[in-house]
Structures are given as C-alpha cells and as structure tokens.
C-alpha cells in the first residue's frame, strides 16, 4: 500500500485538501486516513453523484481542486453530473477522481457483480473524455502522477482520474470497529425478523454484510435459500427490487433487509409507497450508522430520523426506532398485518459478531431457483390465486 501520509502530503502540495466520496474497501487506507486527519475537509457523501456535486460547489466557491473517491461500481451514479455538470461543454469543473478498481481482469471470480464493471472502468472514463492513470504501489511515481494530474486539471478545467487496483490504497486487513451503542448486532436483528415472518416470506438483502449474513443464517437454521434475493451489487436498489416483487405477489410477505448507507444512497425510492398499494411490503433498515462492509466509516444513519422520513413517504411505522430484540419482534408483529407498506428503523451496533467466509454460489442458479419459488403456486406454475 502507498504511504498514506505521503499521499496526502503530495495532494496538499498541489492544493488538494478537500475530499468527498463514498468509502470503498479498495481505498480503505485512503478513506481512513482522511477520516482521522481531515476533519470537515472530508465529506462522506450519500452517493457518488452527490460527491461530484459537492466537489463542483467547492470549486465554484473556492477555485480549489477537490478529490472525489469511489468504488468503480459507483461510477454509474457519477456519470450524470460528470457528463452534464462538470464537462468542459457545460461548466468546466476540474477535480481529481480516485476510483477503486474492483473486478480488474477477473480478479474476483466469486463476485460476478464486479466483472463487467471491472472490464468497462477505463472505457467509461475514456468515453467521457477523462484522462486516467492506473496507480502502482510506488510513492515516487505517485508524487509525479499528482503533479501531472493537478497541472492538467488547472490548465484545462477538466477532471483527471486515478484508478486504484487492489492493494495500492488499502491494507490487506480491514478493522472490525465493534461498539456497544445498541445491544443488537445485524445478524441478531435479522434472526428476530426471520422468526416473526411466515416461512414463505420473501427476503431481499442489501449489498454487503446483510447478504452474507442472511446466506449463512439460512444454513445455520437449516432453512431453504429459495425465498431469498441477495442484492450483491447495485447498492441502494434492494428496496426497489423488493417493492417490484411485492406488487406482483400480494399473497406473499416481502421484507427488504436494507442498510442505512444503502437506503440513503437512493432515498428517493422510499417515496414510491405514497402512490402504490403494497400492504405486504416491509422495509427494515438495519442501521449501524456506518459503511461497515468497506471499513466502518461513519454514515448519517444515526443522525437522521428514518421513521419520520418513512411516515412522510407513506409507510406505516411504530413511531420510533427499535433498539432491542423485544422491541423489534413487537414491531414486526404489529406491522406485518397493518394493511400498508411498513417501515422499521432498527438500530444496531457496529462490528462483526463472527467471521464469515465469502459467499460462493452460482448466481444464475440461485436467481432461477428464486424465480421458480415466486412463480409456482399450489404446485401449478404461472397460476396465481
């Protein structure tokens, strides 16, 4: 890994002292150094497009370069503002982009959600006319790269990108930032919900630890995985997938096990229940106030009132967050038959309660099994009650 102190010194040498983005495990050395040393000059954004917008505003108000960091899977969120706000034909906003390169050259065969994004990462930048360099673990080379990039940005008023392969901006081992803010872990909360819902309830788990923990909870409990959708990619969209299922299958309870960071990434999705009838749909945010899967950097999860937001969007709630297993069980019982789409802000603590291996499964086989479970009714395929 590059010497992160040196990284930030070289950036500061060229006037780059403002950082914003979405944390990534491939960038956890960089993200954690910024968190510990940059204070209010480091803004963890709701999504990558939000970060590009913040960086643009910073430039307008200061004429200073910013650095926007993200995993390459988040480039899709950033494309719109990069192409229609930052581009030289619009407002000409210079900035540095630091992009963690998941899925490079099929380096993650067990994570096919990164394969296509890994292949197209350099091409996306090329299509947008953004020059880039693939970083190496070489401090001297990095210093020269920053000089070249900063000069280019200032002279042309265009962005310049750094692509970071595995190991260049991240340590091999991530910290397990366990705290005791709330008594429940994510896994304990998920098990309470599994206990309270019918056996044929459909579960959609959000990107990150929730997918892994649901997968292994099913094994621990000796239960089928046929009713589970694991949203291993597309962060922030698990609730939309779940809503689509709930609308088509009103006879089945559908639960999305969301995360606070994922929910905030595309919070507009919550407004859909205001104009749709989905009484079988339950949206649970497992809220630990952190981007846990990529290093535990803080989110705004414990600072916002998800319950009030959900009520304003049309969900039925119990009026407050839940913090204990008993409160969660009572909330699920009260809301699962309430006649409206429902929402629970489930406050949990940070940290991993047990070490779990990576999920290794055939994604197409799993989704085909899931599809079959949704399209067979009383033994007859395609005939809905």
Distance separating alpha carbons of residues 215 and 212, to the nearest angstrom:
5
Return the C-alpha torsion angle 73, 219, 284, 100, nearest 10: -20
CATH H-level, domain 4-164: superfamily: Thiamin diphosphate (ThDP)-binding fold, Pyr/PP domains (3.40.50.970)
pLDDT grade, residue 380 (50/70/90)?
very low
Average pLDDT over residues 275-287: 98
How many C-beta atoms lie closer than 10 Å to residue 136's C-beta? Answer: 14
**pLDDT score for 180:** 83
Tell me the pLDDT tens digit for each residue of 89-100. Answer: 999 999 999 999
**348 contact partners, CB below 8 Å, separation of at least 6:** 182, 184, 185, 186, 188, 189, 286, 287, 288
Tell me the pLDDT tens digit for each residue of 301-312. Answer: 999 999 999 999
Q: Coil, helix or strand for 220?
A: helix
Distance separating alpha carbons of residues 249 and 385, to the nearest angstrom:
10
Answer yes or no: is pLDDT of 189 > 90: yes
Distance separating alpha carbons of residues 36 and 27, to the nearest angstrom:
14
Beta bridge partners of 134: 163
**pLDDT score for 384:** 42
Q: Taking all residues of the chain, what is their mean pLDDT, rounded to a whole number?
A: 94
**pLDDT score for 383:** 40
Question: pLDDT above 90 covers what percent of the chain?
Answer: 88
Q: Which of 121, 112, 102 is nearest to 293 (CA)?
A: 102
> What's the whole-model pTM score?
0.93
Pair 45, 21: CB distance under 8 Å: yes
**64 contact partners, CB below 8 Å, separation of at least 6:** 15, 16, 17, 18, 58
**pLDDT score for 174:** 63
Between the alpha carbon of residue 319 and those of residues 275, 298, 305, 306, the distances in Å are 21, 25, 10, 10
**pLDDT score for 107:** 81
Q: What angle do CA 224, 229, 234 make, to 5 degrees?
A: 155
Q: Coil, helix or strand for 3?
A: coil
Burial 328-349 (b: 16+ CB within 10 A, else e): beebbeebbeeebbbbbbbbbb
Q: Which residue in this structure is represented by tokens 């042309």?
A: 156
Same fold, 4-164 and 186-381: yes
Beta bridge partners of 178: none
pLDDT grade, residue 176 (50/70/90)?
low
**81 contact partners, CB below 8 Å, separation of at least 6:** 49, 52, 53, 56
**287 contact partners, CB below 8 Å, separation of at least 6:** 259, 260, 301, 302, 306, 321, 345, 346, 347, 348
Average pLDDT over residues 338-356: 90
pLDDT grade, residue 381 (50/70/90)?
very low
**pLDDT score for 377:** 55
pLDDT grade, residue 175 (50/70/90)?
low
Listed by start position, the domains of the chain span: 4-164, 186-381
Answer yes or no: is pLDDT of 346 > 80: yes
**pLDDT score for 378:** 45
Distance separating alpha carbons of residues 379 and 385, to the nearest angstrom:
12
Query: Under CATH, to which class is 186-381 assigned?
Result: alpha beta
Tell me the pLDDT tens digit for each residue of 223-249. Answer: 999 999 999 999 999 999 999 999 999
Answer yes or no: is pLDDT of 355 > 90: no
Answer yes or no: is pLDDT of 73 > 70: yes
Average pLDDT over residues 249-260: 97
pLDDT grade, residue 251 (50/70/90)?
very high
Between the alpha carbon of residue 295 and those of residues 147, 291, 355, the distances in Å are 29, 7, 15
Tell me the pLDDT tens digit for each residue of 21-67. Answer: 999 999 999 999 999 999 999 999 999 999 999 999 999 999 999 99
Q: Which of 19, 87, 77 is nearest to 49 (CA)?
A: 77
Which position has the higher pLDDT, 46 or 378?
46
């Amino acid at each position: 890994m590059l010497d992160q102190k040196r990284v930030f010194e070289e950036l500061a040498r060229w006037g780059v002292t403002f950082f914003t983005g979405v944390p990534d495990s491939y960038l956890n050395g960089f993200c954690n150094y910024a968190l510990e040393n940059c204070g209010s000059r480091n803004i963890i954004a709701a999504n990558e497009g939000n970060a590009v917008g913040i960086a643009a505003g910073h430039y307008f108000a200061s004429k200073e370069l910013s650095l926007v960091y993200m995993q390459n899977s988040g480039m899709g969120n950033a494309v719109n503002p990069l192409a229609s706000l930052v581009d030289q034909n619009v407002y000409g906003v210079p900035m540095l982009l630091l992009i963690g390169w998941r899925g490079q050259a099929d380096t993650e065969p067990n994570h096919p959600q990164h394969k296509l994004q890994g292949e197209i990462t350099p091409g996306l930048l090329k299509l947008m006319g953004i020059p880039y360099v693939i970083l190496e673990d070489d401090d001297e080379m990095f210093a020269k790269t920053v000089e070249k990039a900063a000069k280019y940005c200032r002279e042309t008023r265009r962005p310049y990108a750094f692509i970071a392969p595995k190991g260049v901006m991240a340590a091999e081992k991530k910290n397990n930032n366990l705290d005791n803010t709330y008594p429940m872990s994510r896994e304990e909360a998920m098990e309470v919900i599994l206990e309270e819902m019918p056996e044929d309830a459909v579960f959609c788990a959000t990107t990150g630890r929730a997918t892994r923990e649901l997968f292994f909870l099913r094994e621990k409990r000796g239960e089928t995985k046929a009713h589970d959708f694991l949203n291993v990619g597309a962060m922030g969209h698990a609730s939309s997938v779940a809503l689509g299922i709930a609308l088509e299958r009103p006879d089945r309870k559908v639960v999305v096990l969301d995360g606070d960071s994922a929910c905030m990434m595309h919070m507009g999705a919550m407004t859909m229940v205001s104009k749709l009838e989905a009484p079988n749909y339950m949206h649970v945010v497992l809220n630990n106030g952190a981007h846990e899967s990529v290093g535990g950097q803080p989110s705004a999860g414990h600072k916002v009132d998800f319950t009030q937001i959900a009520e304003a969007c049309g969900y039925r709630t119990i009026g407050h967050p839940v913090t204990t297993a008993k409160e969660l069980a009572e909330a699920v019982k009260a809301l699962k038959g309430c006649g409206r789409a429902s929402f629970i802000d489930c406050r949990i603590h940070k940290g991993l309660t047990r070490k779990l291996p990576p999920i290794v499964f055939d994604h197409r086989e799993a989704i085909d099994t899931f599809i079959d479970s949704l399209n067979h009714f009383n033994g007859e395929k395609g005939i809905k009650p």
